[in-house]
Structure 1
Amino acid sequence: MKFIHITDIHLVLPGQRLWGFDPLARLDACLADIATHHADAAFCAITGDLTERGEPDAYAALKKRLERFPIETHLMLGNHDDRTAYLHVFGDASASGHVQKAIARDGSTFLFLDTLKGPPSSAGLYDAPRSAWLMSELEKAAGTPVYLFMHHPPFDIGHDLMDLIKLDDAENFAGLLEGHNIRHIFFGHAHRTISGQWRGIAFSALPGLSHQLPLVSGSVETVYSDEPPMYAAVLLANGMTIVHSDAFMHRSPALMHKDAERGDWY
């Protein structure tokens, strides 16, 4: 089974730019590349910061593109999003009014979480109504493999800025997961390629489609940096989770003859 992970697209109004980038153009290029090379994906997940300022017209631009995108797509909210504006355009709230959902594929459960706390904080929140939903879905999973998608990481990632604005109630969140077969957490927010293990659970994150965050603050003059945007193609097979990150806008031929290195390698 294959699915796609995208994060931090930070859309602004059509025709506008953000920190020198055109987020809509980058999204268009990303979706086109996925449709060309990964049309067999079961679904696509976009883990938050769908917009930069939560503008309804930015959500409308996203909806228009997803309507013609051939792969089922599930959206989450990040700290740059506005839940009211999002729901006005997409209208897919859970019973508690949050943007959360569960899907089942190939004997596994995929849970898409809403960690938006709201201004003035950029940190995340997973309060009682959201936690109740998660506990219910984990009980329904009944020990089968579960994959979580969320914007804010529920742990420090070793970055001086992002560790200040992770999920607020991380310990309580960790308690919700105990005793369940959580295989992997896919998150955004960090604007960097990250992978590792937390409390025995594998995790991964991606660069955003817009700006990135330098690993070491001060290594460039500005808070944000210009680094290659990526999406991930995730493969689940034989008990394994394989995450391929693809810098789709920086893919070009090497300086070699097109027929070089095409012999019998095995």
Structure 2
Amino acid sequence: MFVIAHLSDPHIDGSEEARSRLRRITSYLRAFRQPVDVVLVTGDLADHALESEYAELAAELKLDVPVLVLPGNHDVSAPLRAGLGDYIDSPGEGHPVHQVRDVGGARFVLVDTSVPGEDHGLLSPESLAWLDAVLREPVDGPLFVAFHHPPFELHHPVLDQWLLRSGDELEAVLRGKPLTAVLAGHVHNGLATTFAGLPFLVAPGIRSTPPLPFEPPAPGGGLVDNTTAHPGFALHIHEPGKPLQTLYRFPA
């Protein structure tokens, strides 16, 4: 059994609120009677892309298990590489921050969908070609692709402006590949669906949970942030020969 703790969107900004919400998750993980095999954080690691924010996050993610991180739209490549150097294995010095990481027999292809200075996501032809080549390499164990921006609408009037705008091109690359699942974040809601014929699993937001328009509004009536909801994360459980299982946890 191989267990992934999938976190997303901590938006560390130096505040006690952001720090305490992340610590509710990391404290829960540290209390596991059997540690997870890997922790994956799918973007929006820092809120303002400051080196001090990444340094704070690096300290919070010391969990005695492998930790993988990738950028979101709030992140900036240079300070991310500087502040989270121990968690990043990506050639080059700037953008994009693509990675291929092998952990415990599983392969994680971590794709940078961020666009410098923008909130939406996009994959250049060069990034798509890189991803296609990596996914054609032989792999014996489970294979995951992870990135920040989902390529489909959530039916949310604000979040749907900031999705991945190269969804058709990505689907063409992913379809037919021997992937176990695709993992993402960005929308601050736990979500399970399919994309390119594959399981597509989105982690809840740590920093906040935006309600959908037909749900009760967040305190203050807004549709973007609800910091009264518990921070959450996903547990993905892989066993050879069996379908992937995903559980969502919201530590109080």
| 1:103–1:110 contact (8 Å) kept in structure 2 | yes
* 1:24-39 equivalences in 2 (<5 Å): 24-37=19-32, 39=34
Partner of 1:7: 8
Number of residue pairs matched?
241
Equivalent residues in 2 for 1:78-89 (5 A)?
Answer: 78-89=72-83
| TM-score (norm: length of structure 1) | 0.83
Give distance in 2, aligned partners of 1:205 and 1:176. Answer: 19
Alignment correspondent of 1:109: 107
- Candidates 209, 212, 228, aligned match of 2:230: 228
Q: Does structure 2 conserve the Cα–Cα contact (< 8 Å) formed by 1:109 and 1:141? A: no
**Comparing 92-101 with 51-60, which one deviates more in the overlay?**
92-101
Pairwise CA RMSD: 2.1
Contiguous gaps of at least 5 residues in structure 1: 250-266
Residue number in structure 1 paired with 2:71:
77
The structure that has the greater radius of gyration is: 1
Match of residue 90 from structure 2: 94
Please name the residue that 1:56 is paired with: 51
Are the equivalent residues in 2 in contact too, given 1:145–1:183 (CA < 8 A)?
A: yes
**Aligned counterparts of 1:149 and 1:31: Cα–Cα separation in 2:** 20
Distance 1:75 1:106, change over 3 A: closer
Q: Which amino acid letter does the alignment assign opposite residue 138 of structure 1?
A: L
What is the correspondence of 1:134-173 to structure 2 with a 5 Å cutoff? 134-141=131-138, 145-173=142-170
Q: Between 41-50 and 108-117, report the one with greater CA deviation.
A: 108-117
Q: Identity of aligned pairs, percent?
A: 22
CA distance in 1, matches of 2:140, 2:152: 24
CA deviations on 1:13-38 (whole Å, 9 max, x unpaired) are: 2xx25xxxx11112122111101116
Deviation at residue 185 of structure 1 after TM alignment: 1.3
Q: Could you tell me the TM-score, scaled by structure 2's length? A: 0.87
Aligned residue among 229, 237, 242 for 1:239: 242
Write the distance in 2 (CA, Å) between the matches of 1:129 and 1:52. Answer: 27
| Change over 3 Å in CA distance of 1:41–1:199 after alignment to 2 | same
Structure 1 residues 141 and 153 mapped into 2: Cα distance closer, same or farther (>3 Å)? farther
Matched, 1:43 2:38: yes
Q: Distance in 1 between matches of 2:140 and 2:174?
A: 11
Aligned counterparts of 1:140 and 1:89: Cα–Cα separation in 2: 31
Aligned-partner Cα distance in 1 for 2:235–2:33: 8
> Is the 1:39–1:71 contact (alpha carbons within 8 Å) kept by the matching residues of 2?
no
